[in-house]
Structure 1
């Protein structure tokens, strides 16, 4: 189906066309098709990089009343980077539409400036849970009239420790509202949120089998010993030439060690790990986004919310302990209709975990011999 057939207005379609967004992705077709025809709660299981922002953003923009300056929709996001990205994308969609007033608030910046900004007309508020909690308690923002709440990457919000903030915000909006929950995975904590705060008959849009992972990703693993991993990685990076990607480690210590090893080999690489100060994290992300760095080493928690276009590959230098992490890692490549590689460096002891990932996700991870 086309965006027009899904019910999106010509003005928004013109904005999409200028961004070279011509046809809806599968998740966009399913979600927009439902939301343009129905009210009520929604649970959508959708992987990062499949076009979720447009899937919920376009129906929100269609619902905004331009004559009402109050907050009509709240979008919660796990990280400041993703929150900023959402606001940026929605703003681009509205280039030819009626002006929609949006604000974004997140931790790590002076709250006083954000409080001042919220005194302006605001119809859509994009926020991280911790900062929105703080603003509500200070009575600096009123979301009680909002008719719509989006929980984007809900599983990541909970895994980052935002459960209490999320519950406080949802309880603040006890009046009748629609809740649209988007999550790559549906762990126990998410099931609790769904049961506690969404309608029992909430619409479920769930990808099945290998649709949980972007089908444009080529999944591979290289069997090797631990002391061979650096040699394998070095060889793989040379095959990629000037392509850009992210290398994942399980711990901050292994991320730091790998960072030192690569830089010693004159391979310019950035790093994101959990103990970094926000200003240092921002500096690394700017360098990576501005293409001053082609490679970034990251731990799973530190990489939450990364949204960088045109990444050709991700490397699992260490196999993730949880299947969910494999989904999130792999989703950093093959975005916006492009293809990408998810390459795992796998010791004999980790083959069992690879097989578990294959089975649970319904995908084929192809062994690639080295040497």
Structure 2
């Protein structure tokens, strides 16, 4: 049996180490290094880390080490804000339960047949991954027994509370045994998140992982200086110039995302919208199309796109500039993942300059800039943007190579 020194030192069993290695994971990430030993000691943890840092394994690996397969009841409960995130965590977990045949996990979320879920919950389920609404539904029906839960994970806690799940989260927590270990993972530490921690956690260990380097080292960044009136035309010009394999376009509000999506479809682009007004069934359908590269562009809001991890996203377009540094890091972190090179293009109108200055200060990096004349719709590189143009040409060439490989596997799209 092959041992991975880093994970062996953390206390991870050899069979899981072997599976990690077969998945190309040889060394623990900073969040895993910091969190796993503390969780294995049974302590509560508040961990602040961005998506894409390996935080899911930071709580899944300790859970797998601590679950007792001989006890046929729910021992670990993982609560996530969205169905998509629940499915991602479940897929990652099942990657390990395949080699740990005696540990069983179940995803419980809305949109599934509740009767089928009830039948599965009657079996020996050790780990449940659920969204708040459907979990409460089962609790009220008394079709799930949480009386033996010893480990609780609140994943993407800030997003969960932002979506309005605070009452549900409180109801779930108060229904669990007092003698439990609580793990709270959040990208940002809002007052609501801190309030939950203060109310329901026991002397939690505070772990913070900075993730700013990702924005500089792994992602090419470009600012397009434009106007509100010319912004949509500027976006289309950049889409046509770079021709991404897969891209996410971020808007500030659900209405703006919907309006932009309709406009882009009108111009023949293969796009779909993703925001909080969509039904769960529609959201899942859109994500399936995007993962399978049957659509090229996802027009999304920040909250809806949190936690999305789709292989092959080559570009992120900030149609509306984010209003804080952490949101910027979240957004552009959807590309340049798993060691790949990505590109983030942010559109800045004159009224947005203060946000741009704040972002540049926060990431400690001066972003290259290109100006677009609204009348002529021509690119004019600023002094700082001249060097970026050479980089852009190389990135475009690399993207085309990536796209060509994807086309061989998934077929050509209508618009390229």
User: TM bucket by the smaller chain?
Assistant: over 0.9
Q: 1:167 aligns with which of 161, 166, 170?
A: 170
User: Is 1:40 matched with 2:43?
Assistant: yes
Distance 1:212 1:2, change over 3 A: same
In 2, Cα distance between equivalents of 1:27 and 1:338: 20
**Residue of structure 2 in register with 1:366 after alignment:** 367
Structure 1 runs of 4+ off > 3 angstroms?
A: 211-215, 217-220, 321-325
Partner of 1:132: 135
Q: Relative contact order: is structure 1 or structure 2 higher (C-alpha 8 Å, sep ≥ 6)?
A: 1
Aligned length: 368
Report deviation, 1:50: 1.2
Q: 1:337 aligned to 339, 349, 362, which one?
A: 339
Measure, in 2, the Cα distance between the counterparts of 1:341 and 1:288.
18
8 Å CA contact 2:51, 2:307 repeated in 1: no
TM alignment of 1:178-189, pairs within 5 A: 178-189=181-192
Aligned CA distance change for structure 1 residues 238 and 212 (closer, same or farther; 3 Å): closer
Q: 5 Å matches for 1:337-356?
A: 337-356=339-358
- Say if 1:280 and 1:209 are closer, same or farther in 2 by CA, change over 3 A: closer
Corresponding residue number in structure 1 for 2:299: 297
What's the CA shift for 1:215?
A: 5.5
Following superposition, the deviation at residue 322 of structure 1 comes to 4.6
Q: TM-score, normalised by structure 1?
A: 0.92
> CA separation in 2, counterparts of 1:117 and 1:66?
17
Q: Distance in 1 between matches of 2:122 and 2:217?
A: 44
Separation of aligned partners in 2, 1:142 and 1:327 = 39
Aligned CA RMSD, in angstroms, stands at: 2.1
Q: 1:61 aligns with which of 53, 61, 64?
A: 64
Question: 2:148 corresponds to which residue?
Answer: 145
Q: Which residue of 2 aligns with 1:118?
A: 121
- 1:47-126 aligned at under 5 Å gives the runs 47-126=50-129
Distance in 2 of aligned mates of 1:327 and 1:368: 18
Which 5+ residue runs of structure 1 have no aligned equivalent?
Answer: none
Q: Which residue of 1 aligns with 2:272?
A: 270
Q: Using the TM superposition, name which of 238-247 and 144-153 deviates more.
A: 238-247
TM-superposition CA deviations, 1:163-184 (whole Å, max 9, x none): 0111111111142111111100
CA–CA distance in structure 2, aligned partners of residues 192 and 27 of structure 1: 23
Matches of 1:60 and 1:292 in 2, distance apart? 36
User: Structure 1 residues 238, 193: closer, same or farther in 2, change over 3 A?
Assistant: same
Counterpart contact for 1:245–1:312, Cα < 8 Å: yes
Q: 1:8/1:239 Cα in 2 relative to 1: closer, same or farther (>3 Å)?
A: farther
Partners of 1:130 and 1:165 within 8 A in 2: yes
Equivalents in 1 of 2:213, 2:201: separation in Å?
Answer: 25
Label 1:242 to 1:262 Cα distance change in 2 as closer, same or farther (>3 A).
same
Match of 1:12 in 2: 16
Deviation at 1:106, TM superposition (A): 0.9
TM-score, structure 2 as length reference: 0.83
Secondary structure at 2:304 match in 1: coil
1:22 partnered with 2:16 = no
